[in-house]
A and B are shown apart, each in its own frame.
Chain A
Amino acid sequence: MRKWFWGFLFIAFGFVCSIAAERNPRTERISGSAGDVLEDDPVGRLKVYVYELPSKYNKKILQKDPRCLSHMFAAEIYMHRFLLSSPVRTLNPEEADWFYTPIYATCDLTPTGLPLPFKSPRMVRSAIQLISSSWPYWNRTEGADHFFVVPHDFGACFHYQEEKAIERGILPILQRATLVQTFGQRNHVCLNEGSITIPPYAPPQKMQARQIPLDTPRSIFVYFRGLFYDVNNDPEGGYYARGARAAVWENFKNNPLFDISTEHPTTYYEDMQRAIFCLCPLGWAPWSPRLVEAVVFGCIPIIIADDIVLPFADAIPWEEIGVFVAEEDVPKLDTILTSIPPEVILRKQRLLANPSMKRAMLFPQPALPGDAFHQILNGLARKLPHQKIIHLKPGEKILNWTAGPVGDLKPW
């Protein structure tokens, strides 16, 4: 009997030890408001039908300008490619829960590489006219079970200037659809209630290639590279970034703790890995790829953008990972940062070190489990099942197809 007792004790001890050892002291599990959903597998939870649009909506545009594959709006293209070969795709539209329309609306680039959104409303409209006439699924719900990827500055408002974008509002025919966009700001016209915010595209291979050894000590306190004044469009300041970036520069350009400048160093990625905090202030739009880069390189993001909605906000508890500073508190930024207790900082670093966090921000090709594509699908799956009310009675029409500026009604 004694032997059995000791044997049992030994086994129990080993069991406890193995559980304790499993919890890696370097990372922590991430669970947002929707629960511990970062590692969910969307396969089997939803079915997506991909419309076959003529190639003038997607492939031909890409052929005209292959730069679209590497700029920060490339998520729309990669999402299409991912869905074409994903197990959630179904060829039978009757059993589909969600419908995807592959339009590359952000691929009309200027010579310097900036996307022009002027033709996008017409393009989207023409595509929807096509799918509503060729398939019955749009008219069934007027698009409430369709989703679109609109990664432009202000999402489906299709303008780069915020005032213009607010004026236009979300394209009227997309009002009922689910919008997958990078823009997110609370109480803003261009963010619908059910939209899914995604991170902007950042090239995963480039970032993986520039990793430095993990024992390199983090010696930069705050790091930022980028514009403070947009001299071309807003020379006096005050308009660009609502004056927040200019305030950062004026207050902290003499501060040795803040490594901020407008240079374009070749060691940008390596420097981020040597910094503790990375500034992610708003620009003309509140989102930027800096957030993705900061998360991938383990640098705590300092988000200076009032009311911003960050990517996958229900799956990732951004409050615990980043530091949110109100734009009016920018002059006190150094006080705010130095008064964060070191344990909190270490905890944030542990959360950032979680590989599922880094994977959720990236769009790798080919897709990996837990990456941003899967998070989008998870988000769509969480919105299921569709409410009965979205199915319209025959003959019922809700959307006003002729709403919006006159120029949008021209055919494309």
Chain B
Amino acid sequence: MKLSALQQSYLGRRSNSFRSSGPLDSSSDGAFKSPAAVFWLVLHGLSCLISLLLGFRFSRLVFLLLSTSSTYTSPFHSPTELAKTLDIRSVIPADPVGNVPLPFPNKTATNSRVVVGRHGIRIRPWPHPNPVEVMKAHRIIERVQTEQRLQFGVKDPRKIIVVTPTYVRTFQSLHLTGVMHSLMLVPYDLVWIVVEAGGVSNETASLIAKSGLRTIHVGFNQRMSNSWDGRHKLETKMRLRGLRIVREKKLDGIVIFADDSNMHSMELFDEIQNVKWFGAVSVGILASSANIDETVVEKRGEEENPRMPVQGPACNVSNMLAGWHTFNTLPFAGKSAVYIDDRATVLPRKLEWSGFVLNSRLLWKDGDKPEWMKDIDTLDGDIESPLDLVKDPSVVEPLGSCGRRVLLWWLRVEARADSKFPPRLRNSNNRSLTESMRLDCERILFFDFDNSGSVSLARWIIDPPLEITVPSKRTPWPDTPPELPSHEKPVIGIQEPIIKHTTKTRTSRSKRRSKRKHDETRTDRRTTGFDKTLQN
């Protein structure tokens, strides 16, 4: 809004401050050298020289001492810099010209509290967030969002019944915690049915107890096999067990199958509220493999990003269900994983259970339900795909704008065979200290038993703290130094010194909507640095 300050305006500004009530002086036109102007020029030059010698702006000090009238004072808490010395000037505007006898208000401009001029920048002694207030602000945000949901969101939301098959293994807490946190964020009523292979265990129980959700934890009397095929079959049986619980307890809501290693988006839970009886959503398949980088890079050197395969309903132009997108297993023929700890690609089935949702009334023994739903008591576990639950697959409702939106992602990642996951309570012997664990993605040596030898719960505890850390072979950050000493404060270039007012760059902090990878890696780097310092 402003052009650069002209010399005349500067002189004019200064002369205003020393004139309490003067006539209108058009000092803006022309450059007339009156003695007063020359005097101010000389004074200005003198102040500049003195400031050069002293190192701060001398003229401010003079003004502070000389300024008499002040209609407006303000307290200030400022850092030690002298440059922020308060400089109070009052500019009393001249009365408007034109004595009109009309009922024109006589401008007593001295009534105004607001003055033009240099004001101090008020900074409170501790300019940092107050945690109490941050919590209050979050409650306000929550309340506003609840109101938004009431007004624009789903009307009459139904309860969500989540069926999860799981079993105790190395990565169980990793996967289950992910699902748990997603479910804790769901804004609707929730019931979580956890079916565990091998019976109810303390590990799983303690894990899901942290969620605060209403959970139904049942055991399934069969141990999980170590082949993917066997695992899929057992999981199907466990899901049917969960559906039987829904029938027994006559739970009313929408049943969704959340496998413990899947990733769910929050929009999924909003979208499934639209289901009437039996619906299907699109599932993105993250077929993982440790070798996938090399194979992919060899084959398709020129292709930018291999597309993620998606399983789900396919619609024709009139948005009616026309068929199904399934997973194409041909490229992986012969190279897929057979055993759970194989390093090859883990393939999903043709249609994954997690892509289907159903109204729980379909499972009740009595009540009005469509006649195309089979009774689950008549089936017994050997179902290939969830479509076998219905007699006529065309009744399935496609959700997520007819399958075009991918709302959840399927992934199967398990630890290597030689990962010595601590055994369960009833099997534990008094194992000695030095057990080393190696996981698939990172190589961290750590010790995790307490000296007494009994294992209460299989938690990953780094106790005693790490003495040696070996950096992993491949990091996504190109400039990480090769050695990561754990005892020193990490030297990270992004921690710029916080200079008060001359720089306009922000200190890096995680931005909510940062889409740039650069920023994400910077924040990641910083958090790993903090983790390391926390251990000391």
Contact = CB atoms under 8 A, between A and B. Distances in A.
A356 to B, nearest CB: 19
A262 B504 contact: yes
A405 B9 CA distance: 15
B: interface residue count bin: 35 or more
Interface in A147-196: 153, 160-164, 166-167, 169-170, 172, 175-176, 185-189, 193
Interface string A349-376: 1000000000000000000000000000
Contact of B5 (A144, A187, A233, A236): A233
Contact of B113 (A160, A169, A271, A306): A306
A346 interface: yes
Interface stretch (A75-83, A127-135, A203-211, A212-220): A212-220
Contacts of A232: 2, 4
Interface stretch (A101-109, A312-320, A335-343): A335-343
B149 interface: yes
Contacts of A262: 504
Interface of A: 25-26, 110, 114, 144, 153, 160-164, 166-167, 169-170, 172, 175-176, 185-189, 193, 213-215, 217-221, 228-233, 236-239, 242-243, 246-247, 250-257, 259, 261-262, 267, 271, 276, 283-285, 306-307, 327-328, 330-332, 334-335, 337-340, 342, 345-346, 349, 389-390, 398-400, 403-407
A167 B111 CA distance: 17
Contacts of B481: none
A398 B102 contact: yes
SS class of chain B's interface: helix, strand, loop or mixed?
Answer: loop
Contact of B94 (A167, A215, A337, A403): A167
A399 B29 CA distance: 24
B68 interface: no
Given A172-B97, A189-B96, A232-B4, 10 more contacts: A185-B114, A236-B501, A251-B124, A253-B127, A254-B127, A254-B128, A257-B137, A328-B75, A334-B137, A345-B143
A163 B3 CA distance: 15
B225 interface: no
A286 to B, nearest CB: 9
B145 A243 contact: no
Given A167-B94, A346-B147, A161 B9 contact: yes
Residue among A25, A237, A337 with the highest chain B CB neighbour number at 10 A: A237
B1 A285 contact: yes
Given A217-B148, A346-B147, A349-B144, A193 B104 contact: yes
Interface string B109-140: 10111101111111110011110011011011
B107 interface: yes
B91 A186 contact: no
Nearest to B145: A217
A238 B87 contact: yes
Contacts of A230: 2
A160 B2 contact: yes
Interface of B: 1-5, 9, 12-13, 16, 24, 26, 28-29, 74-75, 77, 83-84, 87, 91, 93-94, 96-98, 100-102, 104-105, 107-109, 111-114, 116-124, 127-130, 133-134, 136-137, 139-141, 143-145, 147-149, 151-153, 500-501, 504, 506-507, 509, 512-513
Closest 4 CB pairs of A and B: A215-B152, A187-B112, A331-B124, A338-B136
Contact of B500 (A26, A164, A250): A250
A346 B509 CA distance: 30
Nearest to A217: B145
Nearest to B24: A167
Contacts of B509: 256
A54 to B, nearest CB: 28
A308 to B, nearest CB: 9
Nearest to B87: A238
Contact of A328 (B3, B74, B500): B74
A153 B98 CA distance: 22
A114 B4 CA distance: 12
Contacts, number: 217
Nearest to B25: A167
Contacts of B26: 405-407
A219 B145 contact: yes
A219 B121 CA distance: 29
A229 B16 CA distance: 24
Contacts of B140: 221, 276, 338, 340, 342, 345
A276 B133 contact: no
A283 to B, nearest CB: 6
Contact of B129 (A25, A246, A256, A403): A256
Contacts of B74: 328
Nearest to A259: B512
27 contacts: A114-B1, A161-B2, A161-B9, A163-B16, A163-B116, A186-B112, A187-B111, A187-B112, A213-B152, A219-B141, A220-B512, A221-B141, A228-B504, A229-B504, A232-B4, A243-B118, A250-B123, A251-B127, A259-B512, A276-B140, A284-B2, A285-B1, A306-B113, A328-B122, A332-B124, A338-B133, A346-B144
Nearest to B93: A166
Nearest to B150: A25
A233 B9 CA distance: 12
B121 A399 contact: no
B127 A250 contact: yes
Residue among B107, B111, B121, B507 with the highest chain A CB neighbour number at 10 A: B121
B129 A26 contact: no
Given A170-B96, A345-B144, A188 B105 contact: no
A346 B152 CA distance: 14
A261 to B, nearest CB: 6
A229 B105 contact: no
Contacts of B151: 25-26, 214
B186 to A, nearest CB: 14
Given A162-B116, A167-B24, A243 B87 contact: no
A252 B12 contact: no
Contacts of A403: 97-98
B112 A188 contact: yes
Contacts of B124: 251, 331-332
Contacts of B2: 114, 160-161, 230, 232-233, 284
A239 B117 contact: yes
Given A189-B93, A400-B97, A243 B119 contact: yes
Contacts of B77: 331
Given A237-B121, A257-B134, A284-B1, A166 B104 contact: no
A188 B83 CA distance: 30
A257 B129 contact: yes
A335 B133 contact: yes
A213 B153 CA distance: 11
A276 B141 CA distance: 8
B137 A176 contact: no
Nearest to A389: B102
A400 B504 CA distance: 49
A143 to B, nearest CB: 11
Contacts of B94: 166-167, 169
A188 B93 CA distance: 9
A164 B9 contact: yes
Nearest to B91: A163
